[in-house]
């Protein structure tokens, strides 16, 4: 498999070289320097230098534009990251909406039917378990003073021990 991949890569490389040679032959004419006088050769060199200068100026302009664009892209990426960090999505909260309100919101003024589902339910009385348990309200300072020190810990130990032994 590696041999096949290497073979394909070499073939692509050769095709690129052939394409490059064809493009250069098409764009750049061959120089005829044989039989030219010294002044003609100097004129040819001046023309070639002028063309090279024009190409260098274009290359420099394109590089400057490319650098400017990459800086702008980098700045925009930073702005996007800053904005993404600043605006966090709030956690969604559960909203209690009655069925009537939901239908009114969805259907607007067309909603005429009442969807009071709770009216058909039986009512059940809750037994008050808290009424059965008397709540002792005392001074908390007395309790703290009684439980302080080793005697208080012994009382707590004895109190915890006595219900389990019964």
The pLDDT tens digits of the residues spanning 134-162 come to 556 666 666 666 666 666 666 666 777 76
User: What is the value of pTM for the model shown?
Assistant: 0.36
Residue 119 domain-assigned (yes or no): no
Q: Is residue 161 part of a domain?
A: no
Per-residue pLDDT, 166: 47
Provide the pLDDT for residue 34: 85
In a domain, 81, yes or no: yes
Stretches in the chain below the pLDDT threshold 50: 165-166
Q: Domain range spanning residue 45? A: 38-85
- Is there a domain that residue 73 lies in? yes
pLDDT (0 to 100) of residue 15 = 96
Contact 31, 44 (CB under 8 A): yes
Distance CA 99, CA 29 (A): 84
CA 131 to each of CA 128, 135, 136, 139: distance values in angstroms, whole numbers, following the listed order: 6, 9, 12, 22
Tokens (6 digits) for 104: 């009114």
Q: Would residue 50 count as lying in a domain?
A: yes
How many separate domains does the chain show? 1
| Domain assignment of residue 149, yes or no | no
CB burial of residue 103 (10 Å; 0-12, 13-18, 19+):
middle
In a domain, 160, yes or no: no
Task: Identify whether 112 is part of a domain.
Answer: no
């Amino acid at each position: 498999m590696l041999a096949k991949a290497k073979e394909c890569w070499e073939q692509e490389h050769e095709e690129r070289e052939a394409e490059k040679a064809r493009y250069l032959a098409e764009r750049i004419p061959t120089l005829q320097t044989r039989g030219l006088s010294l002044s003609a050769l100097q004129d040819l060199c001046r023309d070639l230098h002028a063309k090279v200068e024009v190409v260098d100026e274009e290359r420099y302009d394109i590089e400057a534009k490319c650098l400017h664009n990459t800086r702008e892209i980098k700045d925009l990426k930073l702005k996007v990251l800053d904005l993404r960090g600043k605006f966090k999505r709030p956690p969604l909260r559960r909203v209690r909406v009655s069925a009537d309100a939901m239908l009114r919101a969805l259907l607007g003024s067309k909603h005429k039917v009442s969807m009071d589902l709770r009216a058909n339910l039986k009512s059940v009385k809750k037994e008050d378990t808290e009424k059965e348990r008397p709540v002792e309200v005392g001074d908390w300072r007395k309790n703290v003073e009684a439980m302080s020190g080793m005697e208080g810990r012994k009382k707590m130990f004895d109190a915890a021990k006595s219900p389990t032994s019964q």
